[in-house]
Chains A and B, each alone.
Chain A
Amino acid sequence: MNLALTWRLLKGGGRRGMLGTWLTLGAVAVSTALLLFAIAANFAFQARADRGAWRNPVPASSGAVAIEASRYDFVRGRAISVVDLAALGKQAPAPPPGLPRFPRPGETWLSPALAELARQLPADQFAARYPHQAGVLGDEALIHPGELVAVVGRAPDDPAMTAARSEDWIVSQAPVRVASLAGAPSQDATNYQALAVVAGVLMVVPLLVFGGAAARLTVARRDQRLAALRLVGATPGQVVGMTVAEAVMVALAGALTGTVAYVLAAPLLARIEMQGGPWFAGDVFPPPWVFAAVLVAVPLLVGLSAVAGLRRVVVSPLGVAKRETPPALRAVRVVALLAALVMFPLLTRGAGVAIIGTALALVFLCVNLVGPWVVGLIGRITAGTARGPARLLAGRRLVDDPRSAWRTVSGVALTGFVAGFIGLLSPAVLDQPPAGPPQLRVLAPAGQVEQVARQARERLRESGLTATVKPDKSLVVATLGGAADDAALDRARTALAGLVPGRTPTTPSDDKRFGDQLLADVRVGTVVVLAVSFLVAIASSGITAMSSVLDRRQTYGLLRLAGTPLELLDRARRAETLIPLTVMGGGAILVGVFCAMPFMIGGMSTAGAVTLAGCVVVGFAGVIGAGALSRPLLRAVTADPAPRPD
């Protein structure tokens, strides 16, 4: 019976009631879509890690069937992942993913993008490095679409399968005897997964706050009506039941809308480049159970939030109908934040990602807990020092309901925390092109430097390239003629391919590539997290601004009627948002910076400072803009000449 009555009241809410319902629905939809994005990102990195695992061999203790080694090669400034495979027994072992059979000695298999490149470029620039192409690798072998991969079949006694390789695990893997080609996710992939977890936490917490705000928006609109229901004798259980039913109905519709929005946006999200390339469409779609879980969890969370918001009505039927001075919030909230801040460096020193993530979430939640208390304090100061009516009104409102004022700015303030945290963690990419003519360097085996240098000279001469080749300690350095372009460089790479078995001649920028790639990815990740946070924050402040206009329409209407200019009401509303935003946004940035300090690499970068400054500007502009959007609503609700409480 409650459900039928709830549905009746939901439908009968009139235009304004429906507007509130739509706002809640929109807020839940945005939250759900972004929540799916945050979760999907983790599954996507997991999928990449799993697909790349076969290239990261696990040494066999017994029963080895093959030898696997890997290194990087380069063409046109792009990295190629080269995997050398040799079967040990007479019978070919099971092939790695994406290959129909185990490669025979001498043949090569290229990824589709690399095969295409091999067709486009003259053979002496690339294809000659990988003769005897037997076929094309399937997508199962690739970390991302368009990845450049070459699999080279070799005999077990091939020098490439016996020679030492670089000690740097990122650049190459020394030949390893393996029992299968299943492998294990590489250290690199695991690091990316860890970063995705941190990014997920940074995105999910504001989403939960936003979802909660949306739920309480439903209650804020309904509290008077529900108090009236209590007054006529509805039991607390009935009131809670009706509120939860309404909130859950709206939230379920919102969650479904959000899921559809995510599915529609997924192809666009798959274009975000990470680790050197975009994503397979399947990567950005988490498994169906995730969708199901989100569709259950989101309405459930919204329902719980609604119950929490209803406590006051249920405890006392007069709690909402009669406006009284609310009890001041306790300063113990500040103690909680301070305790969390003191514990943070201790907890996270040398700790695993799970602990860092939890500690980060804890500080984040503490900032959220302290927010309303600080807003109340600011309100008292603002009201105490106000000279004009706008600041007085703003200050008194902040004191009256610090939680709702905090809801308006919490998103942006918490994004300040994110910006402060990752602003420090995104050092500038040192992307200066190397000066002078291109150089290729390769490490020669001990005692063979002169011999390798001689061979290099011959090979380059035979290819018609002008180059000076000189030994430099254990390195052989080939400096190409001054006018050398990309084509000449790739000809030189091709000429020098296999000069030292298992080693790739590289330029100084090739050597820097992986560090640069990681930093570039951190930068993309930062931008994505900030974009999501800001989207949430601005949508959240827009929705709360509108709901606050709806909640106070009677007061606003009467003030206008008594001759208060609309600008003054607007000024008071702005002050009510911007004063706490300035204090709390600034405070949250500082807390974020503090939390980032244990993980800082070097000093604060210019890019980080610019990101941070950009965030402050976008945040303020966004909140002011979102607030301005509700101005027509303010005009509309105050245009009613005889406002009556409904």
Chain B
Amino acid sequence: MNDVLVGRALVKRFGQTVALGGVDIAVRAGEAVAIMGPSGSGKSTLLHCLAGIMKPDAGEVHLLGQRIDTMGERKRSELRRTRFGFVFQFGQLLPELPAEENVALPLMLGGVPRSQAVRQAREWFGPLGLQTMETRRPGELSGGQAQRVAIARALVSRPAVVFADEPTGALDQRTGHDTMRLLVEATKHNGASLIVVTHDPNVAGWCDRTVEVRDGQLAGVRA
């Protein structure tokens, strides 16, 4: 199978606490995977290890066949910037920048000239239902709108994998539903894989597959 991201026997400890006790996971191209579990189960730690935010104590992480957990911080930073996209629960938009510049930021970080980066960023506003919101600042957007701007930002650099940590946690049910639909559709439309950490079965319902984590172990997989 054409696995994009593979984690093998991942172990992560925080002092005496074992957050991950040897987890194996593989995500295919274009696949949407939900990681579910109660609070403290290790699901966020798993996401951080897969995304190169954290180094696992043991085990391996491969992106498109290349091992990434042994890379230095600089390399992993570059990887996160170019090959991954992130959507969080809140606070990910820079309050000082208008929406379009927030979306253009990853491109500019990659060296794309500002005018071109902003032009490319604007192309995302229509499909995500954000027309006329380009110059608004995060404080002037609703929670759902801010989350859609964050989705545009996660996808603008055409990543291989998008990581979402409780992306609808701060939204009401209806807005959460719309946001998840847009996230899954836009990610698939771009050929990227999606890994969503959530404790909400409705959110997980949007994904192709759900992975259950309990006490740092995989507790089950549902298609």
Residues in A lying within 8 Å of B, measured CB to CB? 322-325, 386-389, 392-393, 396-397, 399-400, 554-555, 558-565, 568, 641-643, 645
Contact = CB atoms under 8 A, between A and B. Distances in A.
Contact of B139 (A322, A389, A559, A565): A322
Nearest to B92: A558
B82 A388 contact: no
B114 A387 contact: yes
B91 interface: yes
A389 B108 contact: yes
A406 to B, nearest CB: 16
Secondary structure at chain B's binding surface: helix, strand, loop or mixed? helix
B80 to A, nearest CB: 3
B77 A564 contact: yes
B5 to A, nearest CB: 16
Contacts of B80: 561-563
Interface in B67-90: 74, 77-82, 84, 86, 88, 90
Nearest to A399: B96
B44 A642 contact: yes
By CB atoms of chain B within 10 A, which of A561, A564, A568 has the most? A561
A563 B78 contact: yes
Given A393-B94, A393-B96, A562 B86 contact: yes
A324 B140 contact: yes
A440 B90 CA distance: 86
B106 interface: yes
Nearest to B52: A563
Contacts of B113: 387
B7 interface: no
A562 B91 CA distance: 13
B96 A388 contact: no
A561 B53 contact: yes
Interface string B111-150: 0011000000000000000000000011110000000000
A322 B93 CA distance: 13
Interface of B: 44, 48, 53-54, 74, 77-82, 84, 86, 88, 90-92, 94-97, 101, 105-106, 108-109, 113-114, 137-140, 165
Given A562-B86, A564-B81, A392 B101 contact: yes
Given A325-B140, A400-B95, 14 more contacts: A387-B114, A388-B108, A389-B108, A392-B114, A393-B94, A555-B94, A562-B80, A563-B81, A563-B82, A563-B106, A565-B78, A642-B44, A645-B90, A645-B91
A388 B114 contact: yes
A641 B91 contact: no
Contacts of A388: 108, 114
Given A325-B140, A555-B94, A645-B91, A389 B84 contact: no
B17 to A, nearest CB: 15
A323 B101 contact: no
Interface centre among A323, A554, A643 (most CB of B within 10 A): A323
10 contacts: A389-B109, A392-B114, A393-B96, A555-B94, A558-B92, A561-B80, A563-B81, A563-B84, A565-B109, A643-B91
A630 to B, nearest CB: 19
B48 A642 contact: yes
Nearest to B85: A562
B94 A559 contact: yes
A324 B139 contact: yes
A324 B92 contact: no
A103 B91 CA distance: 84
A641 B163 CA distance: 14
Given A324-B140, A392-B101, A400-B96, A564 B91 contact: no
Contacts of B106: 562-563
Contact of B137 (A324, A563, A642): A324
A598 B212 CA distance: 79
B157 to A, nearest CB: 9
A142 to B, nearest CB: 61
B101 A555 contact: no
Contacts of A396: 94, 96-97, 101
Contacts of A558: 88, 91-92
- Which A-B residue pairs are the 10 nearest by beta carbons? A563-B81, A563-B80, A323-B139, A323-B95, A400-B96, A396-B96, A324-B139, A389-B108, A563-B77, A641-B53
A323 B137 contact: yes
A389 B77 CA distance: 16
A323 B138 CA distance: 7
Nearest to A565: B77
A397 B53 contact: no
A182 to B, nearest CB: 66
Contacts of A561: 53, 80, 86
